[in-house]
Structure 1
Amino acid sequence: MAYSVEPLSGDNAHQWETFNHHSREGTLFHSLRWKKILEDIFGFNLRYYLIQNEQKIIGICPFVERIRGYFRGLEDIPHSNFNDVILDDSFNISDINDLLSLFSQKCSYLRFNVSNADILERITYSNFSGEETGNMVLDLKQTPPDTIQQTLSKNTLKRIRRFEKEGFRIQEITRRSDIGQFYQYYAKNMAHIRGKILPLSFFEMLWDFFAPNELRIVILTKEDVCAGGTLALVDPARKIVHHEYLALNRNLPHYTPTYYLDWDLIDWAWANGYEMVSLGRQKLDPDNPRFRDKAKFGAEHIPIHSRLVIFSKKVSPLYRLKRTLSRSS
């Protein structure tokens, strides 16, 4: 097989978009609109590559360049729930080392995700498994809202219905200038859980690139009281809704707005003909309350198969030492 790797450029951008659009693994997060947002808002040094086999595009690889001391690496793109290397069905997984050899000329190490775990078992380069995480995905074809409702406990249903009984309503944000109300409670919630607060400009750019047909932002309100809200990316072509960002009013301690907001998004997706709802990334940890809440609404954990491949002989012992020290601490 004559594999080659071609950097993304203005001349082949249409090939990237076409491959992403037609691939069953393609997502909005692989689109060049998403790439533009990551570059403009965060200033990431992104390196996107098309994989060719005898001039036919058989894969796309979105990476961010990282410099670690004297070593240059390529890693999976951040702030993206789906950031796999995508390969079509014609790729022979036994050729993975031939493909990796092309990247060995470009970097000291490569960190990437794939959907097919069997690919990783064929790697002969020095490699290490990555963080055990995954996406919590609800298949509405198998588990429609009526089925979910029957499995929810009486206490959970009571907490959901409480909002409507007390006069709370879902309000969809239809103007860019109103994003600030959602962002106010998003930022406060992230500060509360000590998470990374993304800038308002990021959410405004999401609006510019995806509204109105591929973006849904809602807040749960009663008069001048906001209980919280959600931002979801909507993919009509693939019939999937991505729950991306949560806003919460932490001054309402006796309410559980996350239940109502998750249920609202699921119900909306079903009513509008969507087949899948991704509730975001999560480690496989049944003891984690957020994991349990997502599983409660029918979401299944779809693992992300991650691997760090080291090409440089100097990097490998350094990384092994780092892992040893990290485990001992």
Structure 2
Amino acid sequence: MTSPSLQTVNSPIPAPSVSSAALVVRAFENQDAERWDRFVLEHPGGTFFHQMAWKRVVEKTFEHQAQYVYGERDGRIVAIAPVFMVSNWMVGRCLVSSPLASYGGICAEDLEAGNALLAFLKRRAQEQQVDYLELRNPAGGTLPEFVPNPRYSSFSMTLSKDPEAVLKGLPKDIRYMIRKAEKADLHVRRGPELLDEFYRLFAINMRRLGTPVFPRSLFVNLLQEFGKQIDVLVVYAGSEPVASAVSFLFRDTMHPYYIGGLPVARDLAANNFLWWELMKFAAQSGMNTFDFGRSKKGTGAYAFKKKWNPKITDLDYQFFLVMRKTAPNFSPANPKFEVATKAWSRLPLWLTKKLGPRVVRWIP
């Protein structure tokens, strides 16, 4: 059986494996930002999280140390590797591509460039004696010497430009819940000025899940750095906000990423209504793909997204172990964290909003 190669890690298009020009691996510098982003936009495997703005958001919000590198040939970027050093008492010291992101890993035009960056990252991990190097590859299989992390899947759907056609293509029970919400006279508003309403619902939802909430500054920084690539949506029952979402817009894809909501949202079918309004907006905006985002297998979020009948893709997250002997598992679903998760869900909301941003910095 042939080992997976980097030429397909972040690209659905096979690329040449050799080039006559010499390849040079360089550390990213600020003057490279424009060239880097141009490569991300032009490469079929480039994602929202490979953009320079994501680097700035992570640095400003969590102070993780960026160690970005790229491959250059004839003065042109042909491969990139966005990597951060994350170091704290909980995870130890690790290199992650990329923290907080659904997708990461190396993007390369060809096999030579991709393998050169991979070899560089492995050497750096060994020289810095980190516990592990993590690549959050969306596809491509497990690379040689890496240990797979098979816990996550992503969900996506191809959209028609006609929202009515999209609606007709949804499963019957989903359409029923959308109609139920419409009869309850739910309505939506969108815009960055709704950030505070989004965040209140987001904090409530995270506490219910027993998960530390991200700091409000994360969302402020996302809006500052990405601008119109960020969509803020709030669902109202009358004048009361009941569900909310912050979504990422990249090329022809809409990617809802952070979701908030009150417990009553389920009874009102507000969650289904929220996702439908996001999907409808994407179709009306001419986007071709709706990315439901990643979820851990066996969770309620996984089951909810599966009901929409999307394409399900197992993500090829993986670890290159250096000082650690076994792959880490910092997921809240880990049985080791069960007691802490239940305890967190019982804390007062004000306390979770105070403590959560401190705790979540430890988890990449």
TM-score range, shorter chain: 0.7 to 0.9
Please name the residue that 2:312 is paired with: 301
1:133-182 deviation line (CA, Å, top 9, x unaligned): 132111225997635534423x433321222222221111353xx31111
2:221 counterpart of 1:219: no
What 5-or-longer segments of structure 2 have no aligned partner?
A: 1-17, 337-364
Change (3 A) 1:197 1:100: closer
Please name the residue that 2:289 is paired with: 276
1:105-158 deviation line (CA, Å, top 9, x unaligned): 64334221334525x44x2x4x322243132111225997635534423x4333
In the TM superposition, residue 261 of structure 1 has moved relative to its aligned partner by 0.7
Letter in 2 for 1:82: Y
Change (3 A) 1:91 1:228: same
Aligned length: 308
In the TM superposition, residue 290 of structure 1 has moved relative to its aligned partner by 2.2
Letter in 2 for 1:309: F
CA distance in 1, matches of 2:301, 2:226: 27
Higher strand share: 1
Please name the residue that 1:319 is paired with: 325
Alignment match of 2:48 (pick from 16, 28, 46)? 28
In the TM superposition, residue 259 of structure 1 has moved relative to its aligned partner by 0.8
Please name the residue that 1:229 is paired with: 244
Letter in 2 for 1:217: V
CA distance in 2, matches of 1:306, 1:82: 9
Letter in 1 for 2:135: F
Change (3 A) 1:145 1:92: farther
The answer as to whether partners of 2:181 and 2:269 remain within 8 angstroms in 1 is no
Please name the residue that 1:80 is paired with: 101
Please name the residue that 1:51 is paired with: 71
2:181 counterpart of 1:163: yes
In the TM superposition, residue 101 of structure 1 has moved relative to its aligned partner by 5.6
Please name the residue that 2:8 is paired with: none
The answer as to whether partners of 1:3 and 1:99 remain within 8 angstroms in 2 is no
TM-score (norm 1): 0.81
The answer as to whether partners of 1:228 and 1:248 remain within 8 angstroms in 2 is yes
2:141 counterpart of 1:130: no
2:248 counterpart of 1:242: no
Partner SS for 1:11: helix
Please name the residue that 2:205 is paired with: 189
In the TM superposition, residue 89 of structure 1 has moved relative to its aligned partner by 3.5
Change (3 A) 1:246 1:321: closer
1:286-305 deviation line (CA, Å, top 9, x unaligned): xx432232122232222221
Partner SS for 2:292: strand
In the TM superposition, residue 53 of structure 1 has moved relative to its aligned partner by 4.9
The answer as to whether partners of 1:136 and 1:278 remain within 8 angstroms in 2 is yes
Alignment match of 1:289 (pick from 300, 303, 308)? 300
The answer as to whether partners of 1:86 and 1:114 remain within 8 angstroms in 2 is no
What 5-or-longer segments of structure 1 have no aligned partner?
A: none
Q: How does 1:192-211 map to 2 (within 5 A)?
A: 192-211=208-227
1:236-265 deviation line (CA, Å, top 9, x unaligned): xx2111101111111455222111111111
CA RMSD of aligned residues (A): 3.2
2:137 counterpart of 1:114: yes
Alignment match of 1:266 (pick from 274, 279, 282)? 279
In the TM superposition, residue 66 of structure 1 has moved relative to its aligned partner by 3.3
Identity %: 18
Please name the residue that 2:61 is paired with: 41
Letter in 1 for 2:325: Y
Letter in 2 for 1:262: W
The answer as to whether partners of 2:157 and 2:290 remain within 8 angstroms in 1 is yes
